[in-house]
Amino acid sequence: MKAGIHPEYVDTTITCNCGEVIHTRSTQPQIRVEVCSKCHPFFTGKQKFVDTAGRVERFSKKFGGTYSFQKTATPAAAGAKK
């Protein structure tokens, strides 16, 4: 490693918008994040739809409104309809 070209590795405080504070080490003294493991839907099991600029509405118009919410028929039920 060359001397003098690497950033300092310091104690870091990571702060989430939900209020969670995590202490670790990084090259930046403070880091602010929007989501963390305490509030992210994958870890909490709560689904959140964030619709920016009407993307969900545009998708629904393009594909008939129920495209992503359709249930696929099971093979047994599909054979019974013939």
- For residue 64, give the 3-state DSSP assignment: coil
Q: What is the pLDDT of residues 2-37, one digit of tens each?
A: 888 999 999 999 999 888 999 999 999 999 998 888
Q: Among 13-17, 59-63, 70-74, where is mean pLDDT lowest?
A: 70-74
Closest listed residue to residue 65, CA positions, set 56, 74, 52: 56
The answer to whether 21 and 37 have CB atoms below 8 angstroms apart is no
Residue type at 38 in one-letter notation: K
